[in-house]
Amino acid sequence: MRMPEAVTPAEWNKAHEELMAKEKELTRAQDRLAAERRRQPGVRIDAEHGFTGEGGRFSLVDLFEGRRQLIVYHFMFAPGSKRPCSGCSMFVDNLGDPAHLNARDTTLAVVSRAPYPEIAAVREQRGWTVPWYSSFGDGFNEEMGVTVDDNDSFGLSVFIRDDTSVYRTYFTRGRGVEKLGTNWSLLDLTPLGRQETWEDSPEGVPQESPYAWWRLRDEYGD
């Protein structure tokens, strides 16, 4: 197995500082991209989509759980699938407690085409608690572009609502999903962002001091 080149502490520090400079520039570039993302237009979802989840039937607005923003992971799990997608499963395995997203007026949910009993069995088997809904018999996947000619792919969509009017503001797939999973990376995809004063956001986006909203997950309250 290849091992790193052995160098002196001074040589290591020099190489490390050069790498850190590149990483900081990447972080700044990502911040600029997030600022542009917060200014992206949205497409209104006019179709009356219906979903089945734990507790019954739900509309797209219901998936927001009363919050203003919704992040949906499109999980590759078609009707009759023998096993869940390994890559999608890895993504869900890495999701943290939703309390931190909820504190930023954001809900996270998973949607697949399989009937809900098939979804519920996998959800229980894997020990997942994230809300996972079935769009079986509905055209939601097709409208989102993740099902074409009955073939599924995975991806992640971001929505914002104004009362009952829902707009899709962002979508990513493939390697665009790989770097996601932390609350910060998911919030950076939304129109409202982290809602901290250092962010370059459009006028009207709520903001407060950095870290002011951070809590232990059981300290947010209702």
The H or E element spanning position 57 is: strand 56-59
Q: φ and ψ at 156, to 5 degrees? A: -140, 130
Cα separation, 104 vs 67, in Å, equals: 9
| Cβ neighbours of residue 4 closer than 8 Å, sequence gap 6 or more | none
- How does pLDDT run along the chain (222 residues), one tens digit per residue? 888 899 999 999 999 999 999 999 999 999 999 999 999 999 999 999 999 999 999 999 999 999 999 999 999 999 999 899 999 999 999 898 899 999 999 999 999 999 999 999 999 999 999 999 999 999 999 999 999 999 999 999 999 999 999 999 999 999 888 888 788 899 999 999 999 999 999 999 999 998 888 888 778 876
pLDDT at 217: 78
What was the pLDDT predicted at 180? Answer: 85
Cα torsion through 141, 147, 151, 154, rounded to 10:
-90
Residue among 138, 175, 169 nearest 155 (CA): 175
pLDDT of residue 222: 61
Q: Domains of the chain (ranges plus CATH)?
A: 42-195 (3.40.30.10)
pTM over 0.85: yes
Phi-psi region of 137 (alpha: psi -120 to 50; beta: other; left: phi over 0): left
Half-sphere exposure of residue 155: CA atoms within 13 angstroms, side-chain side: 15
